[in-house]
Amino acid sequence: MTKTDIAPQNAPKRVFIKTYGCQMNVYDSDRMADALAPHGYMPTQELGEADLVLLNTCHIREKASEKVFSELGRLKEVQGERRAAGADMMIGVAGCVAQAEGEEIARRAPMVDMVFGPQAYHRLPDMLARAQAQRHLHPSLKKAVVDTDFPEEDKFAHLPAAKKEVTIKRGLTAFLTVQEGCDKFCSFCVVPYTRGAEVSRPVAQVLAEARGLVEAGVKEITLLGQNVNAYHGVDAAGRSVGLGELAYLLAEITGLERLRYTTSHPRDMDDALIAAHRDLPLLMPYLHLPVQSGSDRILKAMNRKHTAAEYLALIERIKTARPDMALSGDFIVGFPGETDQDFEDTLSIIRQTGYASAYSFKYSTRPGTPGANLTGQIAEEVKTERLYRLQELVNQQTTDFHASCVGKTMPVLIERVGRMPGQVGGRSPYLQAVHLEGSTDLIGAIHEVEIVGTSTNSLVGRLKQAVAA
Ligand code: SAH
Ligand code: SF4
Ligand code: F3S
């Protein structure tokens, strides 16, 4: 390296990325950072030193969407301060709000330089160059660079491979997006519009990325997709490979110890995937399988294309294959037309299934979805009351699940130093946080831990076996 390479004019620029929404956005934010690194942008956690700010946004509910505009209001001040100090701060809005609202964002927030959807991330360096070319223009002549096209080319093939330095920062666990978009069109949901049609990454691409992650020290991979179990990537022979078969292929990677996937749709839980749960110890016995409602009438109106009984039968089949399977779910209360009886049916399916954890939401009307045109919208107080009752039930189930772990011995991936001196912390197969007394030498491997108690939202453990010499 010559001296000029490290001269001040070549000092790295800083990018501050703020991520909202689901894990796919977390993964995408890392990939945007990877795509910018060769262009001299290094990630920063300090907004005040950022030359570029990217908001990776979520459109799933109204509240999530509105956060963007309040954040932009705050950023405008910081941008003003940076400019007064002779520096600059470019602002880009990415993610699902960008895809849904496009130009409208630039109109509402003129200080935004770029607006681009999830299918355009590989074009980010090019967009940035175009936005920068305008930076010396008079503000009235500037025009935000907007890219919300769904391109023909494969975004993933054009994004740089995950970087080792970045990967290490991500630690022992990593996300890997294998499928994107959705063709299900549940009547409440914006995802098919913001992420586009279902696309699966080819098998070789997924395996190569997984191997790279494992070589960099990753022990646990979570495969991501809006509909991850609808995965159907092509292999070298041009055959379509489902998620079950993909799991068997990933299980062959030496050093990969744990595999998870999220989010699944009940209709795509096929026999091959259930068999993989039976056969592959690395496939963790913890499944996020949202049902949304326990009422057949509401399930139909939501366009979920299955009944409550079919969901319960599916859970039975999964538990037959993997008896220690724990479940997590998503629920929407107050979907248009939801009666007291429909809501009772939801409580009933929760009681029958028994969840280790669950996420629950009040129905939020999303413009452009079929649900927005339905009559029978539910009053806010009714939604609030139903959400409260539902959460009371699932919180009790979570507490019971944690309590049922006491006395059991389970493998824990020790990931970090604990909250107290002399403690380390990790995750159980069921994604519970576990704290135990132990040396930092334990970090980075899976150890057998006896669960001796519970505390708020976590388990207390005791190391069962000494580390092998
Ligand atoms: N693909 C996943 C879910 C993606 S969105 C699936 O099919 O299950 C994550 C969760 O947000 C959904 O499961 C749903 O519970 C919730 N959600 C989606 N749209 C919503 C809306 N309009 N109002 C309230 N909650 C919503
Ligand atoms: Fe949305 Fe339904 Fe697709 Fe899930 S399956 S992303 S809830 S449309
Ligand atoms: Fe939100 Fe888009 Fe994910 S709407 S939940 S960030 S797919």
Mean pLDDT of 47-60: 96
**5 Cβ contact partners less than 8 Å away, ≥ 6 residues apart:** none
CB 461 within 8 A of CB 422: no
> What is the pLDDT confidence band of residue 7, given thresholds at 50, 70 and 90?
very low
Centre of ligand 2 from the C-alpha of residue 103, in Å: 25
The token pair that represents 365 in the structure block? 């009307």
Residue 33, classed as helix, strand or coil, is: helix
- Kindly give, in sequence order, each residue whose CB lies less than 8 Å from that of residue 216, ignoring residues fewer than 6 positions away: 162, 164, 167, 168
Of the pLDDT bands very low, low, confident and very high (cuts 50, 70, 90), residue 465 is: low
Structure confidence at residue 456 (pLDDT): 83
pLDDT score of 392 more than 70: yes
Mean pLDDT of 247-265: 97
pLDDT digit string, tens, across residues 142-158: 788 998 887 766 777 77
Highest mean pLDDT among 106-120, 158-172, 243-257, 417-431: 243-257
Are the CB atoms for 248 and 288 separated by under 8 Å? no
- Determine which helix (DSSP H) or strand (DSSP E) holds 192, and give its type and residue range: helix 191-194
Q: Are 56 and 28 contacting, i.e. CB atoms less than 8 angstroms apart?
A: yes
Ligand 2: residue whose CA is nearest its atom 2: 186
The ligand 2 atom at the shortest distance from the C-alpha of residue 304 is 2
Predicted confidence band of residue 313 (pLDDT cuts 50, 70, 90): very high
In this prediction, residue 162 carries a pLDDT of 60
Residue 4 has what pLDDT?
A: 36
Q: d(Cα 15, Cα 94) in Å, to the nearest integer?
A: 14
Q: Residues 148, 116: contact at Cβ < 8 Å?
A: yes
pLDDT tens-digit map of 223-233: 999 999 999 99
Radius of gyration of the chain (CA): 24
Q: Mean pLDDT, the chain, as a whole number? A: 92
Q: What is the pLDDT of residue 56?
A: 98
Q: Which atom of ligand 3 is nearest to the CA of 97?
A: 4
Q: How many A from CA of 249 to the centre of ligand 2?
A: 27
What's residue 139's pLDDT?
Answer: 72
302/292 Cα distance (integer angstroms): 9
Backbone angles phi, psi at 411, to 5 degrees: -75, 130
| Alpha carbons 306 and 243: distance in angstroms, whole number | 20
CA-nearest residue, atom 1 of ligand 2: 189
Q: Residues near 195 by Cβ (< 8 Å), separated by ≥ 6?
A: 24, 96, 99, 118, 119, 180, 181, 182, 226
* Helices 203-215, 243-251: inter-axial angle, 10-degree rounding: 40
According to DSSP, the residues that pair with 434 across neighbouring strands are: 426, 459
| Range 383-393 average pLDDT | 98
pLDDT of the residue at 152: 63
Peptide bond into 263 cis (omega under 30): yes
Q: What does pTM read for this prediction?
A: 0.93
For residue 109, the CA-to-ligand 2 centroid distance in Å is 30
- Over residues 164-218, the pLDDT tens digits come to 454 445 589 999 999 999 999 999 999 999 999 999 999 999 999 999 999 999 9
Residue 291 pLDDT: 98
pLDDT at position 161: 59
Q: How much of the chain, in percent, has pLDDT values that exceed 90?
A: 83
Please choose, from the candidates 303, 288, 289, 290, the residue with its C-alpha nearest in 3D space to the C-alpha of residue 335: 303
DSSP β-bridge partners for residue 462: 450
- Residue 22 among known ligand-binding residues: yes
Q: What is the pLDDT of residues 436-451, one digit of tens each?
A: 999 999 999 999 999 9
Cα-to-centroid distance, 190 and ligand 3 (Å): 8
Residue 405 annotated as binding? no
User: In the structure encoding, which two tokens stand for residue 381, read together?
Assistant: 């107080």
Which residue out of 96, 97, 288 has the highest number of ligand 3 atoms within 8 Å of its CB and is therefore the one to mutate? Answer: 96
- The answer to whether residues 44 and 14 touch, using CB atoms and an 8 Å cutoff, is yes
Q: DSSP label at 60?
A: S
What pLDDT sits at residue 58? 96
Does 469 score more than 60 pLDDT?
Answer: no
Arithmetic mean of pLDDT, 399-412: 97
185 lines ligand 2 (CB under 6 A): yes
Would you state the pLDDT for residue 171? 85
Q: Which atom of ligand 1 is nearest to the CA of 182?
A: 1
Whether the predicted pLDDT of 134 surpasses 90: no
Closest ligand 3 atom to 25 CA = 6
pLDDT, tens only, 62-79: 998 889 999 999 999 999
Question: What pLDDT sits at residue 3?
Answer: 38
Best of 186, 198, 330 to mutate for ligand 1, by most ligand atoms within 8 A of CB? 330
Whether 265 lines ligand 2, by a CB cut-off of 6 Å, is yes
**Which are the contacts of 318, defined by CB distance < 8 A and separation ≥ 6?**
269, 274, 277, 287, 325
Report whether residue 227 contacts ligand 2, using a CB cutoff of 6 Å. yes
